Structure formats: structure tokens, C-alpha cells
Copies of this chain bind each other. A is one copy, B any other.
Amino acid sequence: MSPTRRQASLSKLGEFELIQSLPRQYSSPKFRPTIGIGDDAAVFPLSPTQHMIVSTDLLIEHIHFTRHTATFYDIGYKAAAANLSDIAAMGATPTALFVAIALPASLTKMDWQEFYRGLAVSCKPHNVQLLGGDTSASPSALFIAITITGQVEPGHILTRKGAKIGDLIYVSGTLGDAAAGLAYFKNSPPSKASPRTKPLQYLAQRHLQPTPRIALGQLLASQPFASAAMDLSDGLSGDIRHLCRQSHVGALIHSHHIPMSKPMQAYAKRVSTAPLDWSLHGGEDYELLFTVPPQWQPELEKLAKTRRMPITQIGVIQPQRFGIRIEHQDRTRHPLPQRSYEHFSTL
């Protein structure tokens, strides 16, 4: 690598490249994660019956959120939900959340308590213990680092790696709602940002207060229902690529099978946007994307229905050389385009 290349500003390098560049010679052989960087969380063997899951996320003011367009409650709620979703994607049970926070002088105690209340409300249904980790002054922006831990039995871990040719591709819930909610906030003047109608309230909530699919993740992991799984944080078009890369496979997605909510479709029509754009490229739905070997399909669909966990088959895993393609209702096919999603653009 040339000196110029090495000195390249890190802001131009992707996270994946950064992590790949970590000097492997320094890593220790004693306590290796069974699953490391590149999945939703790292997994460590603790005992023959227990594995530990750990995931860390950063939330930085002006990068992931601004105080002008989100309340501290919202920021806290979504931060916890995003971390819980990483645990859901592994089929694990979340146990504790650690919050390290650097506070600029402009922040009030009430702001901080509102942030914490958002975190706590998001954690409460999942019985997750919320713990402060470290608190410091910040010379500039508000910085938040959240670490979540979870537990899972060995042999019951969902990863991005196991998808096989012929496996059925599923998603939970409906896609594109969070993107529609984001568009709503972007389109509304701040003074009128609070939505008044139920469909718009639904979209706003899907953007501000996503639901981590913990119970579904655990169901998928309880039997080998899912051969691979991850959560949809960057958007289907980007995330299916991550799953296929880790599993060394391709994918065919049927656009007309992608589940979309009525409020999202109605709002898309109102603002002259193609709903498929939001459902393919909109991030932060925090639904699960997973692959199911065909023989498990009937039992999984039956169980999911009984437990009222909406899941929808949207495609089939293909050989790697097939690439990642989308088929429309008129049977036309083309490579699935990818668009980058900017997290927390209004939050």
C-alpha cells in the first residue's frame, strides 16, 4: 500500500475496509469469537450450554441524529431498538444494555433523563437491564455508545452465513414504512411535524419507534427454521447483498411479493413516490430478513400465523453466479439496484 493510500482520510474509507485492515497478528488465540466482525453481533462461547452475544453501536450528533428534529426520548428509544434488533437477528435473548455518553455543556439534566427514559421504555418489554456505563463531558457534540449483551444456546444462533441455493427468502412485517415516516418529517415544516391522521401517525412511529423482532428471532432459532438471518437496517437492497456475500449465494426477489403497508402506499401516492423504492431502499425498518429451507416452510408459516408474527416469502436463494436480481409481476428481471441509505437523516 502506498503512503498516500495509507494516509487517505478515514472518512473516505468504508467501515468494512477499516475492520478488514485490523492487524490480525495481534489477535489472541485463546478466546476467539465463534462469530465475529461482519455479522450483527459477536458471539462468544461461555459454556457448553451458553454463548454470549455482544454488539456495540455509536450514535453521534450531526451524523446519526440532530437535536433539532428529534426529541431526546426519540433518540433513546430508537437507539435501544436498533441494538435490540441486532440481538433479534442472532435469535438470542437480550440481557443488558450499557450506555456510555459524552455530554456537551449545552445538554440539560432533563435532556439526559428524557434520553434515558426513551431507552428504558424501549427495553422494558424485553426485560433488558439498562445500565449506565461511563459518563464524560464532551468538548463538542453529543456522543453515545451503546453496548448490548445477550445469551443464546449453542446450535441456536442465527447468522448471515448459512443460506443455501433453493432456500426461500422471507421478511417480517412490512417494508418501507420507516422511509415513508422519514419522508413525512422531511416534507413537513417543523411547526407542523406532529402527524394528525392515524396512517401518518403509524408511519411516524415506524420511523421513530421501530419494533425489534426479538420473539420472531427466537422462533427462527428454536428449530433450524432459518438457514440465515439478519435485521433490515440499511434497506432490503443493501442488506440482501450482505447476506448473500456472507453465504456465497445469489438471490431472486419478487418485487410484487414485498409486503407493504396501506399507509405507506397511500403516502407514497400522495408525494408521488414509487412505494417499491421505499420498500427496497428505505432503511431502519428493523424487520428480519431470513432464509428458510423449503422443507421447513409449512411448519414455520403455521407457527408464525398462530403467534401473530407476520412473515412473507419474497424470493428464492440462487447460485452465486446468478447475482442479485429482481423480478416484476410482468416477469421482467433485472439486477437489483442498490442505493445507500443515510441513517437517522431526520432523527
Binding site for B on A (CB under 8 A): 6-11, 13, 15, 18-19, 21-23, 26-33, 36-37, 42, 44, 46-47, 49-50, 52, 54-58, 60-64, 95-96, 98-113, 116-117, 120-121, 123-124, 127-141, 143, 145, 147, 149, 151
Chain B residues with CB under 8 A of A18 = 109, 112, 132, 135
Cβ A107 vs Cβ B10 within 8 A: yes
Smallest CB gap from A130: residue in B: B27
Known: A96-B33, A105-B9, A135-B18. A130 touches B28 (CB 8 A): yes
- Let me know if A9 and B140 touch, CB within 8 A: no
- Expressed in whole angstroms, the minimum distance between the Cβ of A153 and any Cβ of chain B is 12
Given contacts A96-B31, A129-B32, contact A116 B23 (CB under 8 A): yes
A121: which B residues are within 8 A, CB to CB?
A: 26
Say whether A109 contacts B27, CB under 8 Å: no
Determine if A62 and B139 form an interchain contact, defined as CB atoms under 8 angstroms apart: yes
* A58 / chain B contacts, CB cutoff of 8 Å: 100-102, 134-136, 143, 145
Q: Classify the secondary structure of A's interface with B.
A: mixed
Closest Cβ of chain B to A176, distance in Å, is 25
Q: Contact check, B31 vs A120: say whether CB atoms are below 8 A apart.
A: no
New A-B pairs, 6, CB < 8 Å, besides A10-B112, A56-B134, A60-B138: A22-B132, A29-B127, A47-B50, A50-B50, A56-B98, A134-B145
Give the number of copies in the complex. 2
In whole Å, how far is A64's beta carbon from the nearest beta carbon of chain B? 7
Instruction: Give 11 A-B contacts (CB < 8 Å), ordered by A residue.
Output: A15-B135, A22-B116, A28-B129, A30-B127, A33-B96, A44-B96, A58-B135, A58-B145, A60-B136, A61-B139, A133-B145
B contact residues around A33 at 8 Å (CB): 96, 129, 131
Q: When A33-B96, A60-B143 are in contact, do A6 and B110 touch as well, CB less than 8 Å? A: yes
Cα distance, A106 to B108, chains bound together (Å): 30
B95 touches A31 (CB 8 A): yes
Chain B residues near A11: list those with CB within 8 A.
103-105, 137
A145: B residues at CB distance < 8 A: 56, 58, 100, 133-134, 143, 145, 147
Assess the B28–A149 pair: CB atoms within 8 A: no
Flag if A42 contacts B102 (CB, 8 Å): no
Instruction: Tell me if B149 and A54 are in contact (CB < 8 A).
Output: yes
Query: Taking the nearest CB of chain B, how far is it from the CB of A16, in angstroms?
Result: 9
CB pair B47 A49 closer than 8 Å = yes
Instruction: Choose from B8, B28, B98, B107 the contact partner of A123 (Cβ within 8 Å).
Output: B28
- Residue from the set A135, A141, A145 with the largest chain B CB neighbour count within 10 Å: A145
CA distance in complex: A62, B117 (Å): 29
Return chain B residues, CB-CB under 8 Å to A13.
Answer: 109
In the bound complex, what is the Cα–Cα distance between A123 and B317 (angstroms)? Answer: 41
Q: Which residue of B lies closest to A126 (CB)?
A: B28
Measured between alpha carbons, how far is A137 from B27 in the docked complex, in Å?
25
